[in-house]
Every structure is written in structure tokens, then in C-alpha cells.
Amino acid sequence: MGEIAEYFKRERYITRRLSLLVLGGTAILLPVALNVARGHLPAMALPYAVVGVVLGVAAAVVLIVRRANVRYPRSASSDELPLDDATSRKLRRRILLLKGFVAVYAFIMVSIIVHMHRGEWPGVLGAGVVIVIMEVALIKAIRRLDLKVKAGARLLRNTFGS
């Protein structure tokens, strides 16, 4: 069960830092957008600010994930222990939450496809690529957690003989 505990610690570490990152990006883009709307900055400042924030966020995400992997290394051994009820419920809730995000991103993808038909290609195409990458990552995470829950339940049945 050490691997599962480390998974939740790693996830908490990454989530907190990504939340701060989103807050920081908003704190940069909001004043720029407001100043462009008021006419204090030229209109070209907004695309440059967006590109700068996107590149900064991409670099920060890579650093955050690397630090998380150093701080909470994945165990080489697959400590296949039966999952207790609390951990199993926690993992099932996480799977349900991730499935909800998959549904939200699928809805956004449909919206992107509608906007592509209107001829708004450049920005919408970039957003579509990001959404597809997020969908793939979420589906992989759901499969990994689902396999972990099934393996833990199987081991629990085999250990206690149901």
C-alpha cells in the first residue's frame, strides 16, 4: 500500500503547485487583457502575453512533474497488497472524478469542432490539440487506477478467500 500512499502524496504535491501556477497565469493575463480593453496597451500585447504565459506554464509543469518524481519516487517493486476499504473508495472516487473530467473535455471538444466549422481555425486548432492530449492523459490515468483497484480487490479475495 506504500505505492498508493505515495501516489496520493505525489498528486497532492502536483495539484497544489499547478493551482498556484493557474493563479499566477491569471494574475498576469487579467491585467494585460483589461489594459488592452481600456486602450492603455496595444492590441498586440495580449497575444504576446498569452504566448509568454503558455510557454512559462509549459516549462513550469515540466519542472513540477520532475520535482514530484524526485521527491516521491515510484517504487521499483510492485507491492501488491490487498486494498483496504478506505483506499479502495478513495481510488474509486478518483476514477469517477477523472471520468467526469473526460466528459467535460469531450463537451469542450464538440464545441471546438463547432467553432472550426465557423472558420475560426488558428486558436481553436491549438485548443483542440491540447484537449486531445488531456483526454489521452486522463484515460491513461483512469486505466491505471482501475487496474490498481481490480488487482487490489483480486488480492483481497485471494487472501481472505471469498
pLDDT in tens, 124-155: 777 778 788 888 888 988 898 888 888 777 77
Per-residue pLDDT of 60-112, as tens digits, reads 988 998 998 888 887 655 555 667 778 888 888 989 999 999 999 899 888 87
Q: How far apart are CA 122 and CA 65, in angstroms?
A: 29
> What is the pLDDT, as a whole number, of residue 80?
59
If asked whether residues 37 and 103 sit together in one domain, one would say no
Which residue shows C-alpha cell 515510484? Answer: 74
* Full DSSP string of 7-71: HHHHHHHHHHHHHHHHHHHHHHHHHHHHHHHHTSS-TTHHHHHHHHHHHHHHHHHHHHHHHHHHH
Per-residue pLDDT of 94-108, as tens digits, reads 899 999 999 998 998
If asked whether residues 16 and 68 sit together in one domain, one would say yes
Q: Is the pLDDT of residue 162 over 60?
A: no
pTM of the model: 0.61
If asked whether residues 90 and 146 sit together in one domain, one would say yes
Q: How many domains does the chain have?
A: 2
Q: Is the pLDDT of residue 39 over 70?
A: yes
Residue that is last in its domain, among 78, 104, 121 = 78
Residue that is last in its domain, among 35, 62, 78 = 78
If asked whether residues 61 and 100 sit together in one domain, one would say no
If asked whether residues 67 and 87 sit together in one domain, one would say no
Give kind and range of the element (H or E) at residue 156: helix 121-160
If asked whether residues 70 and 54 sit together in one domain, one would say yes
If asked whether residues 54 and 122 sit together in one domain, one would say no
